[in-house]
Every structure is written in structure tokens, then in C-alpha cells.
Amino acid sequence: MPRETCYDKRTTPSQYGWLPIDSLSVMPTQFQEVEVILNRFFVKKLSRPDLTFHEYQCQFTQVPEQGSEQKAISSVCYKLGVTAVRLGSCIITREPIDPERMRTKDWQLQLIGCRELSCQNYRERQALETFERKILEEKLKETFKKTIIEKDYELGLIWWISGEEGLEKTGHGWEVHRGRQIDLKIETDEKLYLEIDIHHRFYTPFKLEWWLSEYPNIQIKYVRNTYKDKKKWILENFADKSPNEIQIEALGISLAEYHRQEGATQQEIDESRVVIVKKISDYKAKPVYHLSQRLSPILTMETLAQIAEQGREKKEIQGVFDYIRKNIGTRLQESQKIAQVIFKNVYNLSSQPEIMKVNGFVMPRAKLLARNNKEVNQTARIKSFGCAKIGETKFGCLNLFDNKPEYPEEVHKCLLAIARSSGVQIKIDSYFTGSDYPKDDLAQQRFWQQWAAQGIKTVLVVMPWSPHEEKTRLRIQALKAGIATQFMIPTPQDNPYKALNVALGLLCKAKWQPVYLKPLDDPQAADLIIGFDTSTNRRLYYGTSAFAILANGQSLGWELPDIQRGETFSGQSIWQVVSKLVLKFQDNYDSYPKKILLMRDGLVQDGEFEQTIRELTHQGIDVDILSVRKSGSGRMGRELTSGNTAITYDDAEVGTVIFYSATDSFILQTTEVIKTKTGPLGSARPLRVVRHYGNTPLELLALQTYHLTQLHPASGFRSCRLPWVLHLADRSSKEFQRIGQISLLQNVDREKLIAV
């Protein structure tokens, strides 16, 4: 489809009701209109009966604990004999509930009435989607009785291909299974769509005890029962007692007897070690004793990567990673086949499902600025043109790899080249080796303190592959002395690309900034951008981890998190962070920012930003709040035609955006896949961005979001999938939860990007 500039042009709604933005405000930079392919299929327009529901109020005998009300209401929905879902604090059903099921000793329902839900209302539309998803799940299970269908919080439904057909790859103790990811979306115009994709899962037919013996250095985080409901657990620890020695007080029997009653063989009990597990997603859950022969590990790509890093099946595992990265053409073809099956068997449709085509726009790329505002096309060019900002000039190196008192050669050359281009001299002659590093804790603390006393605040640690716990221990010891660490695992052959990224990471931790961002020439653009993220250590969430930059990408640093229960941010903590950064902005510019852009990783929860909005409005500061979501946006592609050959598909161009004015949102392609001689490796996943508050034109927010993904000072050649402020906030929250001792960070300079 030919490209056109989109200004002063009104687009018409597509046949599917997916609206691009009605009109784009005139900006200095023009967008180009393109046709975009989505892995979505129009099913039907919801009828009045589809939208009409009985609504019930749920009253509990004992009021649920604060924060668990929604979960309690959702649990009631499974006990009513009809399909039911939660809508706010109520329950809705299409069929009336049998009066005998409306009361138990724990709760009772009261009919409010019967009404039609509105797809224009966000909460009601979400409830409709949940209801239709349940109907889809029930009909798939009823029609295809021998297949397995699982619910996934982020992805919708996973429909597994059974038997040998679904088994794609195998290795020593692991398998790769293929399935289909199926979700549905309802738009504001009452139209329902299926979203379908290929899905893979790593699986092991072996039990936890086998893995503990075969792969003792592989960290297993999650496990599932090998019997009954396949319940999933967090693996917490191990116990020194035998199954017969552990007593379950509530039942008055031993752990061995309990599992015997649950079908365990005597051999399973005798050959098990006792492990300690906890329920997933329940911070109040108490530890439970379990048996290693009655559990199986839940494998991830990280698990297989750890096996490969140890040199076992490295080639085979890399082949698996390449294999499961299906290109978008393969994904669309498979999706269309599955849509045909669902159309026929679930929705009784004889029509051929059509791949969705919508109007989109390609936005211009960002311009990166090196030393003296020199425009560069990638961060790697700072080797020739110098860094935008200079930081610390003294560095240390701790070589735990080969005991040589020196930097790896390529890193050494790279650091000197960057310093020379930046017009500064650096001191990189402070070395220690493994033979210099003490063995006991007190001596290690003194080691780092003495290094810090020499003015060394950033150290490169060269070491062989090690478990995360070992790196975290070193990192904590260094942070106690106010030293940031950059880790490097040497490769058999010198790798200048890896060396550059190591050098960039080291410099960012030392308050350098390799590149800035050319700011948008628009008075409505934000001049302060802050990203928020949360992470968990399985017990507590490390919320309000924040990172901020100015409009030109200059870092204002990170802020300490507020430790909290649950994934809802504390409104007070958010305001504390924002107010600190506003004052820091004032220190630089002698005024408050005119407009702030706040980005939240994931869904914005009720009340999180209310105080911040109120305080900023009182000061006359405009604010926009965006929810940036990594899932829920499907795939974005484009048709490729060449002469009379068949149509093929490729990923949408980086910077492609689709606007949805009715929901004040857009989806944005921010990354591109790796190109190989045999074709693209995998398919990129776009972001879904929803405006929670503010009045800046949506296309300007999209452009600023896109440009922030291209600012990646710690990588020479790649951009981020997330905007830089969220990328750093995400990395920071994970780093904080690994460290676990927030007090260690109090004396660390906020401009040292310790999490890159």
C-alpha cells in the first residue's frame, strides 16, 4: 500500500471497527500512513442478549481482609452453577442463579436487577471479555475433550496440542511442547475478536529429585505437583528431616502418611527429600512441607540457558531457542487455521476467518546526540565522537577469572578510545585478582572499604560463570562501600561488540551518559519523564522503583523504592518520588517543569496517582499518565508482494503505531527481529499503551514513547523494547529485590545507574 502523509487527513473506520486516530495535530515531523496486519479475527458483533446480564451484590459473613476483596468475590463465581464473573464488587451472569445456590454460611447474594452492559464503559467491557473468555474455554473443553486447555493471567487461554504432534524438541531431561495462545478482545463498538498465536512451553517428564541430582547448580524457582491438580508452588528451601519425622499438626499425621493417603508409593516416599514450598501469588501463604519425588520443576528459557552456560547441550539448546522463534508469516498461517476450527466448532460460523488489516502510521526515528550534540545513529558511535556527559574518571578491575592484574584487552582498548574521543583522561590502573580477594566476610568488607578510600567508586568484576547468588554477594559487599560493579564473563575469543557493551555499562555505573536524545520541538511535549515499576522477592513487592530523565534524555537518576504488600503502588510514595524529582529539576532550571510524563509498567490501579495529580495541578504543572503493557497487543505485521508471487508477511516496521481514539490508547512496534540468511528469527511483540490521565495529543505521546525506546545508553547497537525510563525502573526494581537490603543504597549516588 502506498504511503501518504497523514496530516489534515481524516481516516474512516475500518470494516472491523478498529479506529485509527481521527485526526492528527500538525507537528513538525510527519507520520506516514501504512496498512498493518494483526493476528486478530473478527468473530461477531455482540447482540442485545449477549450484553444483558443479571447483577448480584455479594455480602460476606466475615468481611475479607483489605486487598483480598476482589479475589474473594471471584472465588464465589465458581460456586454458582452458572457461568459468572466479577464486575467491580458485584457478580454478573447471563442466566439467573438458582435461589438455593445464593446463600452459604460464608456469603449470600442479593439480586440487584437485570441490565445491559455498555462496551463504552472500560470496567464493563473488561467484565464482558472475561465472561466471553470463560464461555470460549467451556466450549473448547466440551468439544475437544482429549486436549488440555489452561488459563493464563496475561495470555488468555493456552490450548495444548496433545501427543507426539505437540512434542517439538527433546533433550536430557527436558522437552518443548507446542500449543496455541487464544484470547479475545471486545472493542467499544461491541465487536468481538479472536487473537491467536503460537505458544511453546518447556517441560520435564522427570521429578524434582532427578533434577537436583542431575543439575545441582541449576536454580529451580517454581515446581508443580506430579499428581491430581498439578498445583504450582514456589520452591523455598530444603529440610534436613525425613518424611516420617515431619508432623502435620492440623491432621495429626506425618508427611509420609499424608502422601501415602494421597497415592504416593513407598518408593516415592523413601527416595524423597523434604522440600519447603509456598503458594504462588499469596504473600500471606505459610510454608508447606512437600516431597521431591512428588514435584516436577517448571522449566523456563532461563533454565535451559543455565544448562547451556555450563557447557551441556549448548548447541542443541541454542537450536531450540532458534526453532521456537517463529516468524510472523508462520504465526499468521497457523493462527488462521486455528481460527477456522474455533469459528466452526464454537461460534457455528461457516465463514473463512480473515486476517485483520487496519490503518497505522510509521513515526520518524529519534536522533541520538553524542559529545557536543553530534548526531549519531547508534550509541556505538561514541567510540569515535565521544560521550554526551562525563562522569567518574577512576576505575578498578577485580579479575577473578585468570588472576591477571589487567583488564580484558578489548575492554581496555574500548575504554581508552571512548575517553580519548570524549576529551578526558581516565585512570584504569587499579587492579586486584582472585588471590588478593579475602575469603571471610569481615576481610571482604575491609577490602572494598580500602578500595573506596582510594577514590574508586566503580569496578569491573571479571569472573567465570557463577550462580546469581555469588554475583549478588559480591555486589552487596561492594555496595556497602558505595562501589558499583559491572560483571563480565570472558568469551574464548575476543568479542569487540561485547567489550563495547561492557564498557558502556561500566561508564553508566560511573555517572557517564554516552548519548542524549534530541528533544521534540513541540511545546506540548513533557520536559520531565518518570518511569515506575515494581518487583517482588516472593514475600514483599519493591514498589515505586523510579527512574527519571529530562526531555533531552539526560538522566536525573533513580529513586529508592517503597517496600509494600501487593502490586498496587502507594500513592504517598509515588508523590514523594515525583516531588523529589521536581525539586531536582528546579535545581537545574530554576523553575518547575511545565509538563511531566509519568509512565507506569503494567496496569494503573485505583488511587495510585490521585495525590500526585492533585499536588501537581495545584502547582500549575500539567501531567500525563501512561500505562505501558508488554502483553495484550498481539503481533503487528505487513504484507509483502513481489510480482505474481504469493503474499508473504514481515514484521511491521519499527516505529509503526496504531491509534485507538475510543479507548485513548495505541499499540507500538519498538523492536525488530534478528535477520539471518534463512529469514527473520522470531517475531517482535509490540507494546500496548493506555492513557490513564492527561490531555496531550495521543500522537505526541506515541512519538515521545517511541523515541524513549531508542535511547539505550548502555547498549551499543540495540534499542529497548520499553521506554528507557521504564527499562531502567524495571532493571532497578529487580536489582533492588535481589539485593534485598535497601539500606545499602542510601549512600549510593542516584546518578550511578547500578542496574544497567
Grid cell for residue 40: 486478530
pTM of the complete model: 0.85
Question: Model confidence at 466, in pLDDT bands (50, 70, 90)?
Answer: confident
328-345 and 122-143 helices cross at what angle (nearest 10)? Answer: 80
- Contacts of residue 562, defined as CB under 8 A and 6 or more positions apart, other chains included, come to 543, 544, 569, 570, 573, 576
pLDDT (0 to 100) of residue 315: 83
Radius of gyration of the chain (CA): 28
pLDDT in tens, 147-176: 888 888 778 899 998 888 888 888 888 999
Give the mean model confidence (pLDDT) for residues 497-501.
93
Per-residue model confidence (pLDDT) at position 20 = 41
**Mean pLDDT computed over every residue of the chain:** 88
More confident residue, 399 or 739: 399
How far lies 342's CA from each of 126, 135, 636, in Å? 22, 12, 22
Domain boundaries, the chain: 47-118, 208-298, 390-509, 517-630+689-745
Q: How far apart are CA 219 and CA 487, in angstroms?
A: 19
Tell me the average pLDDT across 515-523. Answer: 94
User: What pLDDT, in 10s, does the model give residues 188-228?
Assistant: 999 999 999 999 988 899 999 999 899 887 888 899 999 87
Write down the residue that cell numbers 442466566 correspond to.
Answer: 95
At 670, the amino acid letter reads: T
Work out the angle at residue 370's Cα, subtended by the Cα atoms of residues 365 and 375, and round it to the nearest 5 degrees: 45
Q: 701: closest CA among 582, 595, 594?
A: 595
H or E segment and range at residue 192: strand 191-203
Residues taking part in catalysis = 533, 567, 601, 730
**Structural contact between residues 55 and 112, judged by C-beta atoms closer than 8 angstroms:** yes
Q: CATH: 3.40.50.2300, 3.40.50.300, 3.30.70.2620, 1.10.10.60. Which one for 47-118?
A: 3.30.70.2620
List CB contacts of 418: < 8 A, sequence separation 6 or more: 382, 383, 386, 387, 503, 507, 514
pLDDT in tens, 12-62: 333 333 444 444 444 435 799 999 999 999 999 999 999 999 999 999 999
User: Would you call 650 helix, strand, or coil by DSSP?
Assistant: strand
Question: Distance between CA 394 and CA 409 in Å, rounded?
Answer: 18
User: Per-residue pLDDT tens for 692-736?
Assistant: 999 999 999 999 999 999 999 999 988 899 999 999 988 887 787
Rounded mean pLDDT of 76-85? 95
**What's the distance, CA 322 to chain centroid?**
21
Q: Among the residues of 595-683, which ranges form H helices?
A: 610-618
- Please tell us whether the domain made up of 517-630+689-745 is placed in CATH 3.30.420.10: yes
CATH fold label, 390-509: Rossmann fold (3.40.50)
Distance CA 331, CA 197 (A): 6
pLDDT tens profile 359-414:
999 999 999 999 999 999 999 999 999 999 999 999 999 999 988 888 999 999 99
**Closest C-alpha to 382, from 261, 483, 508, 288:** 508
Is residue 396 within 8 Å of residue 456, measured between CB atoms? yes
Predicted pLDDT of residue 188: 93
Sign of CA dihedral 652, 180, 295, 253: positive
Mean pLDDT of 112-131: 95
Pairing state between β 484-488 and 687-693: unpaired
Cα 678 vs. chain centroid, distance in angstroms?
A: 29
> What pLDDT, on a 0 to 100 scale, did the predictor assign at position 642?
66
Which residues, other chains included, contact 44 with Cβ-Cβ below 8 Å and sequence gap of 6+? 191, 192, 347, 349
DSSP secondary structure, 81-113, as one string: SS-EEEETTEEEESSPPPGGGSB-SSEEEEEEE
Q: Rounded to whole angstroms, how far apart are CA atoms 441 and 477?
A: 9
CATH 2.130.10.30 fits 208-298, yes or no: no
Contact 662, 188 (CB under 8 A): yes
CA distance 4 to 317: 45
